[in-house]
Amino acid sequence: MRLVNSLAVLVCSLAWFAMTTGCTEAEPQRIHSSSVYEFPDHAERFRWRRINRGNCLEVLTSKGEVMSAVYRDSSAFINDLFPCEGAIVLDDSQSGLATLSSTHVALMEPWDSTLKHWKGGGYLDYVRSAAANLRMAENDVLDFGGNPEWNHEAILLSAFRAFCIYPFGNPLDGVTWADDLPVVPILEYEEPSPLGRAEWMKALAWMVGDSALIEANDVFDGIALRYESARKLGIPREDSLVVLTGSVEQGIWSAPNARSFVAQLLRDAGARYALTDGARAGNIQFSLESLYAMRGEVDALGLVVYEPDTANFTLSRWIESNPHHAQLLPESGRVFAANSMTCDYFGWWVAHPDAMLRNLRNVLYNEEELTGPSPCFKWLSR
Q: Check if the beta carbon of residue 345 is closer than 8 Å to that of residue 351.
A: no
Q: What is the pTM for the complete model shown?
A: 0.87
- Check whether residue 297 and residue 188 sit in a common domain: no
Q: Is it the case that residue 14 has pLDDT exceeding 60? A: no
Q: Is it the case that residue 282 has pLDDT exceeding 70? A: yes
- Check whether residue 313 and residue 219 sit in a common domain: no
Q: Is it the case that residue 1 has pLDDT exceeding 70? A: no
Last residue of a domain, one of 183, 202, 232: 232
Last residue of a domain, one of 232, 265, 289: 232
Phi then psi for 3, rounded to 5 degrees? Answer: -60, -40
- Check whether residue 221 and residue 206 sit in a common domain: yes
- Check whether residue 46 and residue 97 sit in a common domain: yes
- Check whether residue 284 and residue 227 sit in a common domain: no
Phi then psi for 258, rounded to 5 degrees? Answer: -70, -15
- Check whether residue 225 and residue 359 sit in a common domain: no
Give me the pLDDT at residue 32, please.
42
**Which residues are paired to 50 by β-bridges?**
55
Give the DSSP H/E element, type plus range, for residue 70. strand 66-71
- Check whether residue 49 and residue 182 sit in a common domain: yes
- Check whether residue 251 and residue 225 sit in a common domain: no
- Check whether residue 148 and residue 254 sit in a common domain: no
- Check whether residue 345 and residue 286 sit in a common domain: yes
- The alpha-helical segments, DSSP class H, found in 124-179 are 130-137, 152-157
State the amino acid at position 341 in one-letter form. Answer: M
Asked whether the bond before 148 is cis by omega within 30 degrees of 0, the reply is: yes
pLDDT tens digits, 216-257: 999 999 999 999 999 988 666 566 899 999 887 777 888 999
Q: Is it the case that residue 163 has pLDDT exceeding 90? A: yes
The DSSP secondary-structure symbol of 238 reads G
Domain total of the chain = 2
Specify the CATH number for the domain of residue 324.
3.40.50.1980
- Check whether residue 196 and residue 261 sit in a common domain: no
User: Rounded mean pLDDT of the chain?
Assistant: 85
Domain that holds residue 34: 1-232
Give me the pLDDT at residue 13, please.
35
Q: Check if the beta carbon of residue 78 is closer than 8 Å to that of residue 85.
A: no
- Check whether residue 266 and residue 223 sit in a common domain: no
Higher-scoring residue by pLDDT: 80, 169: 80
Tell me the mean pLDDT in the region 354-382. 85
- The b-or-e profile of 5-19 (16+ CB within 10 A means b, else e) is eebeeebeeeeeeee
Last residue of a domain, one of 185, 201, 232: 232
